[in-house]
Amino acid sequence: MAGNSLGQIFKITTFGESHGKALGAVIDGCPSGIRLAEADFIPEMERRRPGRSSFETPRTEEDRVEIVSGVFEGLTTGTPLTLLVGNHDVRSKPYGVLKNLFRPGHADYTYFKKFGHLDYRGGGRASARETAARVAAGVVARKVLAPFHMNILGHTLELGGIRAERMDPGVIPKNPLYCADPDAAVRMLEVLEKAKRAGDSLGGVVEVLVTGCPAGLGEPVFDKLDAELAGAIMSIGAVKGVEVGAGFEAARLRGSENNDPIRSTGFSSNRSGGILGGISNGDDLVLRAAVKPIPSIMKPQKTIDRQGRDATLELTGRFDVTAVARIVPVVEAMVALVLADHYLRARSGGQDFEV
Amino acid sequence: MAGNSLGQIFKITTFGESHGKALGAVIDGCPSGIRLAEADFIPEMERRRPGRSSFETPRTEEDRVEIVSGVFEGLTTGTPLTLLVGNHDVRSKPYGVLKNLFRPGHADYTYFKKFGHLDYRGGGRASARETAARVAAGVVARKVLAPFHMNILGHTLELGGIRAERMDPGVIPKNPLYCADPDAAVRMLEVLEKAKRAGDSLGGVVEVLVTGCPAGLGEPVFDKLDAELAGAIMSIGAVKGVEVGAGFEAARLRGSENNDPIRSTGFSSNRSGGILGGISNGDDLVLRAAVKPIPSIMKPQKTIDRQGRDATLELTGRFDVTAVARIVPVVEAMVALVLADHYLRARSGGQDFEV
Amino acid sequence: MAGNSLGQIFKITTFGESHGKALGAVIDGCPSGIRLAEADFIPEMERRRPGRSSFETPRTEEDRVEIVSGVFEGLTTGTPLTLLVGNHDVRSKPYGVLKNLFRPGHADYTYFKKFGHLDYRGGGRASARETAARVAAGVVARKVLAPFHMNILGHTLELGGIRAERMDPGVIPKNPLYCADPDAAVRMLEVLEKAKRAGDSLGGVVEVLVTGCPAGLGEPVFDKLDAELAGAIMSIGAVKGVEVGAGFEAARLRGSENNDPIRSTGFSSNRSGGILGGISNGDDLVLRAAVKPIPSIMKPQKTIDRQGRDATLELTGRFDVTAVARIVPVVEAMVALVLADHYLRARSGGQDFEV
Amino acid sequence: MAGNSLGQIFKITTFGESHGKALGAVIDGCPSGIRLAEADFIPEMERRRPGRSSFETPRTEEDRVEIVSGVFEGLTTGTPLTLLVGNHDVRSKPYGVLKNLFRPGHADYTYFKKFGHLDYRGGGRASARETAARVAAGVVARKVLAPFHMNILGHTLELGGIRAERMDPGVIPKNPLYCADPDAAVRMLEVLEKAKRAGDSLGGVVEVLVTGCPAGLGEPVFDKLDAELAGAIMSIGAVKGVEVGAGFEAARLRGSENNDPIRSTGFSSNRSGGILGGISNGDDLVLRAAVKPIPSIMKPQKTIDRQGRDATLELTGRFDVTAVARIVPVVEAMVALVLADHYLRARSGGQDFEV
């Protein structure tokens, strides 16, 4: 299995299973001279951490990031930056059932088919816990982008069919769902409560807005900025769709409606989502990700065992009702990682950015 | 500018501008011993070629693919396969206007910002013509996948707001829109006619279904099969959104609705789109791409010139009314390229496939 | 700084400074199902460890390899394998001098020029300690190659001008210089003693022989097996030259002398070093590396300080007199890493190997 | 077969067989705005071209480089630069013999083992003709490096055992062997004449000196500048050994002899070959390559046929007596390619170079 690396110049490699000793990331290609301390990781790790609401399991990981290499006297040295996050709260789960049955909607079945084994302790690399390494690396990516004063802001646009109608950035950190519309947040919490009681789970839509992104990031053809952002966001376990700008709505517009007029003062509209021909145009980036409902539910489900025999899976214990809120900082991290890499790639080509 | 390569083992690099001498692709990593002739490219190149209906410009390129290297005595040798497609119908366009004005919705503005030049002859690498190289390479990818008897079938699911309600594969090649619903096709042609008369353009949704895809393709974490498919499809110029399986609809389902039950006889439903945890599960792959309306329209548009001054762009000549149908074989090609690469990657890991 | 990764399918990324918390490697692309335990690393780590003779500094690192991820129930899972080696014996060195002066023959000057900082604690990534991660990863590479029953055998061919005249594999582990000629080993120890008394250091030549390497490894053109082996071996800090087979001697032979006749029973000679056209031919691989004398010596040396002013460097403490013996297991590891990667690459192309 | 690409940012992919339609290179990652015309390639292609002396076969290829893409209005656009060199003089060779017999010292045997086929027309990708693409790409690399006013100068240091004792750059272009010592050149021609009469061939040593190389190129650990140079040079078909600076001689020096003292005015000596810790130190780069004698000779040779039966190969026709001189511009090209890539990589990390 390869495929645990992302980026060409700002290249991260993540490692670690949910129930192993630790997980983490190596960042190869981080420029030297960036101030970095372990405390810098705390806020983002807190945002991603489970247990912030009654709809998330209370795994009590501190998720402290340890810098193992790459920093000397408080500054990055340009050598590989290794970030380690220990797994401390590795509880015994009801392994009895999972040792032999594939959980529907999970990667159990496909990992078994591909690798011939089943990490029944909780998903291994397919666990949501893997995203802790992404969020940690994303903190460093934001530091690389710091000269631009970008703001990479994610929020829960939709959850269980409830859609936010307002976008008030100040509201986002004030509710556990990271929703920018306080009224919608209340209703989202209601449908979550209902789903929880039903032993079921909910999905939603996460949106990320990037202000301050300079024009000229991205490469034509295969490494378009939107192509790499889409790939990076789709690589988050629960994501089943990605949109840029008007997205699927653009499919229903006419050219005269969809084209953003260009004015000496900037673009008059932003249906492009800030990207034209795969290259950022200086306007805000707008991205959306469809997040599926968490597959672990309390209802009995039809499945098969390792021998291929029909069986019924009945999970016990506590499970998250939705992954949407926790995915918000992960999508932000993926966006930061792709942008940092493209910034360094652009610089290799000699592009000068006014920062 | 890097970024003109795709794939890790079955690696293609495309090159060429729409108005240069030729465009093409080098495929590095094609296995040896595959029978390949120039005639093999004709059907797919014909499907992509413009001018098949009155809603497309009649650029009369033959789009003959020349094999420059990599084939000896009718078989691939394992050396780089070079495919060349000449540009013969390179007509003078109304350059006067384009030499100084940026076309809204096109890559003119961002290329100029990034590279400091403007290939005013017709988009350069950002031209739809670039996709000819993708389709040619896709033909070879399908040959690599031939042992699996996969069928990679694209069709126009939606156009100008008209959605196909039936999926009859036999109908697809019988209309110029590659629509699987003959009634919808008629209505799509009507809205195209209306848009054409209005000097406007239309977008739509392309769906690709892959039957016969074996379980075990794709890698966990960043190189998930759906992540790479999403990135590859989003790298097609006009695509603004990508979905796998239930896609954005999954965001509105409950876990109990969205999970596909597993039975000894297979999956009972396919909301996953054939991919779990980034790895194919043996079911059909289902992907959808949102295609924006073509930005070149006959209506006057607000823009700026190279000096940043407000101006109005009035295009003359003939333009395509929609790109949706022509993108169908391109999306198929991107899917084939990603699958071929992942098949060879899986083989490197020692996976055995029953074919 | 990128460049801390090696390999395309069996891809290792190393990290860690000599005086940081730990160093290690992440191996992405290791096949699943390989039995691996922490004890497996002990023998090779012992061979590389300093302090085995009076000509090496007695840094008393245990160099225990900790498996942080990628192994479950004693078998590799196919997920990234993370190997960690703690730095415990991080003594205070005479930093006073090194904080401002560049050591001749070391990377101090070039790192300072490139990265703008100086890890004066002992070389950072340029330290010989970095090779611990290579040796650890090499142990895993050998496991990947195990089906071939290859033997990758390094030895000290030359040291301080004394050349081994015999090649008796049984003798190699019996002297601290890994020399296959017991008489030469005695004389090598004598010149080392003399150099030590003079406060000086010595270089030499390491040879690696690989038996059991199957034909068909390596790729034509840039990724020739010998090209990648040469690059990998030259990436070891002290190596200044690499030869394959007859090497520089081939430059003085005639074609009729240098060509290895092919017989139905095999090659009659092996001046090619087992590689023709960049691809292994089934004969033994023969490689040699020129190792320069260790630059840290007790004699006063002319240098400059960070401000560019002339100065004299006088090192105190204890230093290794030669790196040759310790590099033997490192060269072996590099060879194993390149071969494992090429084996998996060949497998992706569909090559079958009789094992 | 992958492996036809070199470089990470300035990335070239070469293609084409010696007896196919054409060969060439795609350069992905060339910065925009560099002036480039087809005439720029003529001098270097002439230097590499066979037939300049009576010791080389008179294949009368013009070796004209055609720019297929990537240049508009005389400037590179930043899009892939495609260079095509047609094969016109593809004569019938004595295929009868080669269709079934492996030529000793050639890649025939290993290609057959790896790919299951034999391009008996003259070596396919293993032909010396493949280097034409390298030289063409090298011309572009030199243009990328132009701001530094580097001089990349190769010469024949040794041929058939005769070593140049003087290094007079002005003499190099004045003899067909590119030897910097006119007296040695005469003697080299004599031994070539003798070898030719004997139906045999000769090898030698090529040296490349680079003046004007800035400090700070190269990356620590695996992508050291010397490691990548060694790999790139060893990837030339006939090369069996590579040295940097003192090279194998360094193995016989003491530390006090081998360390280059650093002075405020520069390094007092250059045994490092201009590279310390994998990074250029601002001094001249010094590299040497051992070139084996051409394996095609007129003497009968023992070999086997495709069925593994013993046979005798008797070649007829005309063959080069040595490849040394023709390899001089190829080694220069490889050096230029690696330096251009490392320059762009350094720039991505934010390094400023005074040019």
Is residue B281 over pLDDT 80? yes
- How large is the C-alpha radius of gyration of chain B? 21
**Closest-approach residue (CA) in chain B for D32:** B115
Is residue C83 over pLDDT 60? yes
**Closest-approach residue (CA) in chain A for B109:** A281
Name the nearest CA neighbour of D337 among D5, D2, D10: D10
- How large is the C-alpha radius of gyration of chain A? 21
Is residue C1 over pLDDT 50? no
d(CA D24, CA D131): 9
Residue A58's Cβ-count burial label (10 Å; 0-12, 13-18, 19+) is exposed
B290·A1 Cβ contact <8 A: no
B16·D117 Cβ contact <8 A: no
The pLDDT of residue B61: 65
Q: CB neighbours of A140 closer than 8 A, spacing ≥ 6? A: A27, A30, A34, A36, A81, A83, A340
At D106-145, the pLDDT tens digits run 999 999 999 888 777 767 888 889 999 999 999 999 999 9
Q: A127-136, A153-162, B54-63: which has the minimum mean pLDDT? A: B54-63
- C196 shares contact with chain B (CB less than 8 Å): no
- B110 shares contact with chain D (CB less than 8 Å): no
B126·A254 Cβ contact <8 A: no
Q: B328-342, D38-52, D220-234, D265-279: which has the minimum mean pLDDT? A: D38-52
User: Which residues of chain A lie closer than 8 angstroms to C66, CB-CB?
Assistant: 21
Query: Closest Cα of chain D to A9: distance in Å?
Result: 8
CB-nearest to B9 from C31, C32, C348 is C348
> What SS3 string covers D119-180?
CCCCCHHHCHHHHHHHHHHHHHHHHHCHHHCCEEEEEEEEECCEECCCCCHHHHHHCCCCCC
Q: Phi then psi for D170, rounded to 5 degrees? A: -65, -25
- % of chain A with per-residue pLDDT over 70: 95
SS3 assignment, position C49: coil
Residue D266 tokens read as: 């520069």
- C112 shares contact with chain A (CB less than 8 Å): no
- % of chain A with per-residue pLDDT over 90: 81
Residue A257's Cβ-count burial label (10 Å; 0-12, 13-18, 19+) is middle
- Count of CB atoms within 10 A of residue C270's CB? 16
End-to-end Cα, chain C, rounded Å: 40
d(CA D128, CA C263): 26
Average pLDDT over chain A reads 92
Interface probe for A, chosen from C12, C18, C26, C64 (most Cβ of A below 10 Å), is C26
Query: Closest Cα of chain A to C28: distance in Å?
Result: 5
The pLDDT of residue C126: 86
The pLDDT of residue A56: 72
- D69 shares contact with chain A (CB less than 8 Å): no
d(CA A13, CA D239): 35
**Closest-approach residue (CA) in chain B for C342:** B348
d(CA D6, CA C223): 8
Query: Closest Cα of chain B to A36: distance in Å?
Result: 25
Q: CB neighbours of A86 closer than 8 A, spacing ≥ 6? A: A21, A22, A64, A66
**Chain centroid offset of residue C20 CA:** 21
The pLDDT of residue C355: 56
**Closest-approach residue (CA) in chain B for C344:** B348
> Please, which pLDDT band fits residue A61 given cuts at 50, 70 and 90?
low
Average pLDDT over chain D reads 92
> Please, which pLDDT band fits residue A264 given cuts at 50, 70 and 90?
very high
The pLDDT of residue C267: 97
- Which chains would you list as touching A if contact means 3+ CB atom pairs under 8 Å? B, C, D
Residue C93's Cβ-count burial label (10 Å; 0-12, 13-18, 19+) is middle
At A18-37, the pLDDT tens digits run 888 999 999 999 999 999 99
A255·B296 Cβ contact <8 A: yes
The pLDDT of residue D355: 55
- A348 shares contact with chain D (CB less than 8 Å): yes
Q: B22-31, C326-335, D317-326: which has the minimum mean pLDDT? A: D317-326
Name the nearest CA neighbour of D24 among B79, C74, C236: B79
Name the nearest CA neighbour of A86 among A129, A43, A32: A129
d(CA D14, CA D27): 9
d(CA B303, CA D337): 41
The answer to whether residues C293 and D253 touch, using CB atoms and an 8 Å cutoff, is yes
> Please, which pLDDT band fits residue C302 given cuts at 50, 70 and 90?
very high
- Count of CB atoms within 10 A of residue D54's CB? 12
How far CA D122 is from CA of A147, B33, D62, in Å, comes to 56, 19, 18
As beta bridge partners, residue A241 has A290, B243
User: Which residues of chain B lie closer than 8 angstroms to A14, CB-CB?
Assistant: 221-222
> Please, which pLDDT band fits residue A50 given cuts at 50, 70 and 90?
confident
The pLDDT of residue A278: 97
Is residue B297 over pLDDT 60? yes
D219·C2 Cβ contact <8 A: yes
User: Which residues of chain D lie closer than 8 angstroms to A349, CB-CB?
Assistant: 9, 29, 31-32, 78, 344
Domains and CATH numbers, chain A: 5-348 (3.60.150.10)
- C226 shares contact with chain D (CB less than 8 Å): yes
| C68-96 mean pLDDT | 85
The answer to whether residues A254 and B255 touch, using CB atoms and an 8 Å cutoff, is no
d(CA C255, CA A248): 67
Query: Closest Cα of chain D to A131: distance in Å?
Result: 27
The answer to whether residues A148 and A284 touch, using CB atoms and an 8 Å cutoff, is no
Question: How many interchain CB pairs under 8 A, B with C?
Answer: 32
- D105 shares contact with chain C (CB less than 8 Å): yes
Q: CB neighbours of B94 closer than 8 A, spacing ≥ 6? A: B315, B316, B317
At C98-109, the pLDDT tens digits run 788 999 999 999
A204·B107 Cβ contact <8 A: no
d(CA C151, CA C166): 19
B350·C31 Cβ contact <8 A: yes
Is residue C313 over pLDDT 80? yes
User: Which residues of chain B lie closer than 8 angstroms to D82, CB-CB?
Assistant: 15-16, 22, 24
The pLDDT of residue B18: 86
Question: Nearest-5° angle of CA C123, CA C127, CA C133?
Answer: 140
How far CA B235 is from CA of A88, A99, B133, D138, in Å, comes to 41, 40, 13, 30
> Please, which pLDDT band fits residue A95 given cuts at 50, 70 and 90?
low
User: Which residues of chain A lie closer than 8 angstroms to B205, CB-CB?
Assistant: 248, 251
The pLDDT of residue D230: 98
Is residue B355 over pLDDT 60? no
Look up tokens 């057959």; give the residue. Answer: D112
| A218-232 mean pLDDT | 97
- A222 shares contact with chain B (CB less than 8 Å): yes
CB-nearest to B13 from D70, D72, D80 is D80
At C130-147, the pLDDT tens digits run 999 999 999 999 999 999
End-to-end Cα, chain A, rounded Å: 40
C33·A82 Cβ contact <8 A: no
User: Which residues of chain B lie closer than 8 angstroms to C345, CB-CB?
Assistant: 9, 348
At B244-280, the pLDDT tens digits run 999 999 999 999 999 999 999 999 999 999 999 999 9
Is residue C88 over pLDDT 90? no
pLDDT higher at C75 or D62: C75
At B133-170, the pLDDT tens digits run 999 999 999 999 999 999 999 999 999 999 999 999 99
B116·D33 Cβ contact <8 A: yes
- Count of CB atoms within 10 A of residue C48's CB? 24
At C324-336, the pLDDT tens digits run 999 999 999 999 9
Q: Phi then psi for B231, rounded to 5 degrees? A: -65, -45
The pLDDT of residue A182: 97
A82·C14 Cβ contact <8 A: no
Query: Closest Cα of chain C to D234: distance in Å?
Result: 5
Average pLDDT over chain B reads 92
DSSP designation for B152: E
| C19-28 mean pLDDT | 94
Is residue D333 over pLDDT 60? yes
Which of D139-168 are b and which e, b meaning 16 or more Cβ less than 10 Å from the residue's Cβ?
bbbbbbbeebebebbbbbbbbbebbbeeee
Name the nearest CA neighbour of D259 among D243, D275, D248, D270: D270
d(CA A14, CA B221): 9
SS3 assignment, position B171: helix
C75·A117 Cβ contact <8 A: yes
The answer to ipTM > 0.85 is yes
A125·C3 Cβ contact <8 A: no
Name the nearest CA neighbour of C134 among C14, C20, C27, C5: C14
Is residue B285 over pLDDT 90? yes
Query: Closest Cα of chain C to D167: distance in Å?
Result: 20
How far CA D19 is from CA of B71, D82, D122, D329, in Å, comes to 11, 20, 7, 22
The pLDDT of residue A53: 73
Question: How many interchain CB pairs under 8 A, A with B?
Answer: 362
- A87 shares contact with chain C (CB less than 8 Å): no
Residue A92's Cβ-count burial label (10 Å; 0-12, 13-18, 19+) is exposed
pLDDT higher at B1 or C100: C100
